[in-house]
Copies of this chain bind each other. A is one copy, B any other.
């Protein structure tokens, strides 16, 4: 009897894992998504509790408590980051506790992801897991979320465990040198054009400085599941664990389209490899 039960359990597990990967698209979980409203548009962020559980938990709690509503993007550097948070020294700023860094995580022989590239400049391997771009060093048994454009990460001081609530969104070429020494905890899946339109606070020498009153505010930051259904933005994201996605990567390396009269090297920069998103009504 025991054998049969185990067999049943294994069968069920197999069916469930097939189900999880059977669709080319997966629905964005509204309990794991943030709606950030800017004066000029709406931005949706998917959180990654599977890779940075404590940061996601604190970010969700702060969001629910209205911590970010009215905050400003006070450090915005073109081609690098848009950083925001409560005013320095304000009650909100003082009230948040610091977090232990979640820069990378241990992997074991069961670790798997959809491989994109071996011998990337900064990692032994790159690949997608649950739609997030990861680096993986087999030699260290460590993996981590990459600083691709549009990721959200916690800012910090010089101490690794000093992040609280101030965050940045990358808006230029991936600053991969920050991988593993910052905690990435999600990524923009909708409205990156609006992130790109956040007012730059940093100008080059000789240019007109930007007045603080012109800094872009976050009008509101809300957990998607806290909104009435009709106000939610319902998204579906390409399932990077589906066989069709892996095939797409192979095709992308081959560049068979007639436009490629000469073939580029058969390599992929994961941060330049799209993961499709669509709106569902």
Which residues in A have some Cβ–Cβ distance to B below 8 Å? Answer: 78-79, 117, 119-122, 148-150, 158-160, 171-181, 190, 192-193, 196-197, 200, 204-207, 255, 258-262, 264-265, 267, 269, 271-272, 274, 276-281
In contact, B122 and A259 (Cβ under 8 angstroms): no
Copy number in the complex reads 2
A199 to chain B, nearest CB (A): 8
A209 to chain B, nearest CB (A): 12
In contact, B78 and A196 (Cβ under 8 angstroms): yes
In contact, A272 and B173 (Cβ under 8 angstroms): yes
Apart from the given pairs A149-B172, A181-B264, 17 other A-B contacts in the complex at a CB distance below 8 Å: A78-B192, A79-B150, A117-B121, A119-B121, A121-B265, A122-B264, A159-B261, A171-B196, A173-B269, A174-B269, A174-B272, A176-B264, A177-B264, A178-B264, A180-B262, A180-B264, A181-B261
Q: In the complex, A267 Cα to B171 Cα: how many Å?
A: 21
- In order of increasing CB-CB distance, the 8 nearest A-B pairs are A206-B279, A205-B278, A177-B264, A173-B272, A196-B196, A173-B271, A78-B193, A158-B258
Q: List 22 A-B contacts (CB under 8 A).
A: A78-B193, A78-B196, A79-B192, A117-B121, A120-B121, A121-B267, A121-B269, A122-B267, A148-B173, A149-B173, A159-B261, A173-B269, A176-B264, A177-B265, A180-B262, A180-B264, A196-B196, A197-B197, A204-B276, A204-B277, A204-B279, A206-B281
Q: In the complex, A224 Cα to B186 Cα: how many Å?
A: 43
- Select A200's contact among B148, B193, B276, beta carbons within 8 Å: B193
Q: In the complex, A280 Cα to B206 Cα: how many Å?
A: 6
Which residue, A79, A258, A279, has most C-beta atoms of chain B within 10 A? A79
Q: If A149-B173, A173-B272, A205-B278 touch, does A264 touch B190 (CB 8 Å cutoff)?
A: no
A59 to chain B, nearest CB (A): 22
Residues of B within 8 A of A178 (CB): 264
- Select A278's contact among B78, B174, B204, B261, beta carbons within 8 Å: B204
Q: In the complex, A158 Cα to B121 Cα: how many Å?
A: 31
Q: In the complex, A206 Cα to B235 Cα: how many Å?
A: 9
Residues of B within 8 A of A200 (CB): 193
Residues of B within 8 A of A149 (CB): 79, 172-173
Residues of B within 8 A of A261 (CB): 158-160, 181
Q: Which residue of B lies closest to A148 (CB)?
A: B173
In contact, B158 and A205 (Cβ under 8 angstroms): no
Q: In the complex, A221 Cα to B233 Cα: how many Å?
A: 39
A34 to chain B, nearest CB (A): 18
Residues of B within 8 A of A204 (CB): 190, 276-279
In contact, A255 and B160 (Cβ under 8 angstroms): no
